[in-house]
Structure 1
Amino acid sequence: MAEHRQDIKWKYADPAMAAGSAEVIRILLENGYEAYWVGGCVRDEYMGRNVSDMDITTSALPEATSSIFERVIPTGIKHGTVTVMMNGQPFEVTTYRVEEGYEDHRRPSRVTFVREIEEDLRRRDFTMNAMALGIDGTWVDPFDGRKDIDLRLIRCVGEARLRFREDALRMVRCIRFASVFGFSIAKATWTGMLEERDTLSWVAMERIRSELDKMMSGPDPLRGLELLKGSGLHSRMKIPFPYKGHEQAIMQAIPEVPSERLDIRWALLLFGCGIKAAEADMLLREWTFSNRRRELILGLLAFQETWFGEERGRDPEADRLAWVRLVIERGADAAENWLLMQEAISPVDSPAQTFQVDEARKWLREMEVRELKDLGVSGNELLKVMDRRGGPWVGEVLNHLLLQCAAGFLVNDKQVLIEEAKRVMNNEVR
């Protein structure tokens, strides 16, 4: 049921991307096929959100699409998808299709190409994603996706249980959309989720973690977390999330951290749920976080545990030296991220902690050296000056010099450092 309006002019897409995708559609039309923009780009344009990519659906079979365009990559040709390169940009072009036989709650065992776009849209997850838009402004919206967007409602296309049974990840996507868009979930969709939630254990953690990353970087991650808990999905994952009760002040700090500092948000979530660094290490590995991200998050948790593992505030100088040691041990980047985490927590949670954060930031600025490469003397230079065989003593002396310089007790000057190294070694010999 197509509805015509004035020619489309994209407001929320990159002009070059919009022009390139329009050219793909125009060429398909000129060759006698139907073609539309479809899915997320159509939804986001209607919602006034930034359009990040532009997918196209067409009546042309993959072989026909491949023969029409000069540069085509057969990215998913078995399922009807090829990537057309136009003006240096990639555009996924997929043949109208229906899918059957989701044996693993993810991949269809059979894909059948169809002639009508409405049949293709019928297989999609939510009404807001089951819309298409023609180059001339023609809307194809058989399931009232625009109406549901206006109602701020997430609703499955057709029977919710069937949609979730086809791909169990759709349940997490539903919650992610509700969290990011601030939408409600239709009653029948929520009921279908509760009835099919046990199938989530089929889904690879990498796919779930990707959805959770999008949710955690959104404007209201706390809403998403509550929906995960309320639906019970958090305990149905292949690697369940071990909720152990929450420190509300810590959880409330998550959205206070800028969304681009996603891993600080994750550290706050783990911290707020009482998960220590040792336990978090295994969880992050099993949830498929990259080594870099895992180390960043664990560094923040370890920083937190070390700093607040002892009483602070009674002896400012002792606190300063403890801070310097911790920065040397964990790194200045971890210290900076930890301070951002504390700034999100402390205004709400503890005025006394605000003072500690301000002091710690001042102490960090005052550290002229923060790692061994910053020292004015190297291990090789010490070996020459000392005229001694190498051994563990070199590292021990360098670390002593680093701490003394970082704490401001020594000037980072080569001769001063060499004299201090000689003093340390002479005391060791005696």
Structure 2
Amino acid sequence: MNAVLAEKELSQAAAERGLLRFITAGSVDDGKSTLIGRLLFDSKGIFADQLDAISRAKHKRTVGDTVDLSLLTDGLEAEREQGITIDVAYRYFATPKRKFIIADTPGHEQYTRNMVTGASTADAVIILVDVSKVKLGEDGSVELLTQTKRHSTIAHLLRIEHVIVAVNKMDLVNYDQTVYDRIVAAYRQFAQQLGLADVHAIPMSALVGDNVVAAGERMPWYQGPTLIELLESLSVYDDAHDQPLRFPVQLVARHNGHEANDFRGYMGRVESGKVSRGDKLVVQPGGQTATVKDILTLDGSLETARAGQSVTLLLEEYLDISRGDMLAAAEQPATLQKTVNADICWLSEEPLDPRRKYWLKHTTRQVPAKVTKIDTLLDINTQERRTAEALKLNDIATVSINVAQPLAADAYAQIRATGAFILIDEVSHQTVAAGMIRLD
């Protein structure tokens, strides 16, 4: 027993030191792209030819020979012309302690859907707050921007574990600690309303580089870690390893027609838990039971496959299993749902019409769906919920959805992969909403 616990602790420790995926979020012109450029530049994460290219860029927004680091992520011509981020840009870099994948997401309200896309796989989020835009009242009040609150709310709904509040452009307020303390206190109060637990705050200037990679000499009153030090220390252990097996079937593989044996394998990704030869499984939503005969990969056969691995499962029994079915642990199957209760973020400029039909895409299964009720609409600023008849772009609400065929699902809070879905417009085939399933 002790050996098993020791092995689990070692594997967890290794996972915690692994790859970290994080995103930058916040309002327009808070300095998200510049911050990432500064991270890459100061950590030696860019090549000389990249630096030379942005030095000669015609749309740079800096004075004199100063390099516009935001151009490292704002790659689209429209982004450079307007000085804004439109699409999600991914960048990869590493330090001696850890590897990183960064998603630079837009601040504009109309591009919130892109922020949701970048946040869906993130372990951490950096919420940038521009000190020059926060309204500080003489009575001690602090008014955070709406997009700061919206992105924080989405981070909470998507269960992003770590939240870093980067109070940026401190150089514009002469590195005033009082201004920083008031903004951080206001954000922590809002985070408490949301239910965000792991919140770290750092004062910085992305343009100058204070507290990004190197400590800011102009802020001796701040004794905490720099941004890169904090990112290197965050835990990224995925709880999906400890959850029951969930294996959505992506494809049924057959032999090539020239062999006598009737090979039938079920291809997909282990979304949570693990599967071993001899395990008893249940096929959902059908309910048949099955036994694992073998686990195949391109490199050969495996005894056990774990969360995150893509494999082909061979079963002892001949069963009617197709794409969209779920193979789950027999003793802990997923919950079958014909009515789905969920939090959704509406991503379409076309308002939600409860009379319309949509497609609901959940893991590898796609079924006709209809939104039967908008239970509550969330007010981003006050965090209060109220009734609503329709949803418009960027609204966040709790809804009830009826599906034509049952879904084998889990609460998003327990297993991300089997608790998430998207709604697709039946006519335009555009993604109109991202949803997180609730089982409470």
TM-score, structure 1 as length reference: 0.24
Query: Greater strand percent: which structure?
Result: 2
The structure with the greater share of residues assigned to helix is 1
Max radius of gyration: which structure?
Answer: 1
